[in-house]
A and B are shown apart, each in its own frame.
Chain A
Amino acid sequence: MKNIKFLLLGIFFAIVLSKVQAISWYRFYEMFRFESFHMFGIIGGAVVVSAIIMQMFKSEKIKDINGNKITPKQKQKGFIRTLVGGTFFGLGWGVSGACAAPVFVILGFKWLPALIILLGALIGTLIYGLVSKKLPN
């Protein structure tokens, strides 16, 4: 099982998010009301350290486990896609306090509400898949 390392990495990531309270509904509520530095410090810190790592990937100082150059996938461009899609995501995140990775972590805390949010997310993904060709970019 060469992919078992991803299972272990998932466990590690879940513990980090849980211990810094980055799965708590209250922490996200507080963030979107700009009443605490906590979440901004976590996300900002993650972005700054990751930016340094990305530079090392780019300059090929670090290659992946197979010796290949590491290049993050380019995100799809488009003003409407990113802004409108982002706003929908933020609405759900702000109300439920869950985003894509934490929803799985919350399953380990409060399985029933997390399962309903996850079911909703799958329905939302299905809706996107059905209408994706008709949506503006």
Chain B
Amino acid sequence: MDFILEPWAWYVGGPLIALTLFLYFYFGQNFGASTNFETLCTMAGAGKVSDYFKKDWKERDFALLFVVGLIIGGFISSNFLISNQTIDLNPKTIQELSDLGFANVANQYFPDEIFSKEAVFSLKGFLILILSGISIGFGTRYAGGCTSGHAITGLSSFQLPSLLAVIGFFIGGIIAVWFIIPNLF
């Protein structure tokens, strides 16, 4: 039981993510997460404004069920499977974030500075979240995939576009944490 409640090591994560990919393909579908953004847009009626969304979302019912599973799994994990959200973060990282004014660094999965109700209901906090989301949604559809579709599925099947996309992910991520975050806080 202790094993369930304790954090799992990195070397457990990789193979279990690969097992998920294996089962997804074995069940007859292509592993990825971000196409669901398109499907949700189609369901919301985006086909009225752009032909890009004129698709039959019912053909992706399996993926929508996967998404529902992700939400349920997140709820189960947060409520029953994690006794303590403390993260064994590099002390140097903790120091950097503390210097930027972050409180209680690594005592929980999500920093209050971005995820607390106070942050969400402030103009700055709201803009951080919504603009990040817009960048994620636009970027993943333009690039043709996300961490699951490009970094895991694409790299493991040796696809050049996925290597380029992952290089892009890191260019963006590095700009975000080295230049944007220090200027926001």
Which A residues are closer than 8 A to B by beta carbons?
A: 3-33, 35-39, 41-51, 53-54, 57, 62, 64-66, 68, 70, 72-79, 81-101, 103-110, 112-113, 116-130, 132, 135
Task: Check A125 against B162 for contact (C-beta < 8 Å).
Answer: no
Task: Check B73 against A14 for contact (C-beta < 8 Å).
Answer: yes
B 110-154 to A, binary, CB cutoff 8 A, 1 in contact else 0: 110011010110000010111111111111111111111111111
B88 (CB) vs chain A CBs: closest residue: A38
Task: Check B139 against A26 for contact (C-beta < 8 Å).
Answer: no
B15 (CB) vs chain A CBs: closest residue: A49
Minimum distance in angstroms from A68 CB to a CB of chain B: 7
Task: Check A43 against B152 for contact (C-beta < 8 Å).
Answer: yes
Task: Check B139 against A92 for contact (C-beta < 8 Å).
Answer: yes
Cα–Cα, bound, A8→B159 (Å) = 29
Cα–Cα, bound, A96→B69 (Å) = 22
Candidate in B44, B63, B74, B156 with the most chain A CB atoms within 10 angstroms? B74
* Count of B interface residues, CB-CB < 8 Å: 128
Q: Closest 7 CB pairs between A and B?
A: A120-B133, A86-B168, A45-B14, A10-B69, A90-B172, A14-B73, A108-B74
Partner of A90, one of B9, B25, B131, B139: B139
A63 (CB) vs chain B CBs: closest residue: B26
Q: List 6 interface pairs A-B (beta carbons < 8 Å), by A numbering.
A: A10-B65, A16-B13, A27-B89, A51-B157, A54-B158, A93-B176
Minimum distance in angstroms from A31 CB to a CB of chain B: 8
Partner of A72, one of B26, B30, B139, B172: B30
Which B residues are closer than 8 A to A by beta carbons?
A: 7-18, 20-34, 36-38, 40-41, 44, 46, 49-50, 52-53, 61-63, 65-78, 81-82, 87, 89-90, 92-93, 96-97, 105-106, 109-111, 114-115, 117, 119-120, 126, 128-162, 164-178, 180-181, 184
Task: Check B173 against A94 for contact (C-beta < 8 Å).
Answer: yes
Task: Check A85 against B161 for contact (C-beta < 8 Å).
Answer: no
User: With contacts A26-B87, A108-B72, A113-B120 known, is A93 near B136, CB below 8 A?
Assistant: yes
Cα–Cα, bound, A22→B147 (Å) = 11
B138 (CB) vs chain A CBs: closest residue: A124
- Please name 19 further chain A to chain B contacts, defined as beta carbons within 8 Å, in addition to the given A41-B13, A53-B25, A89-B169, sorted by A numbering: A6-B66, A9-B27, A14-B77, A26-B106, A35-B90, A41-B11, A54-B156, A87-B172, A92-B133, A93-B132, A94-B173, A97-B114, A117-B133, A118-B133, A120-B131, A120-B132, A120-B135, A124-B141, A130-B52
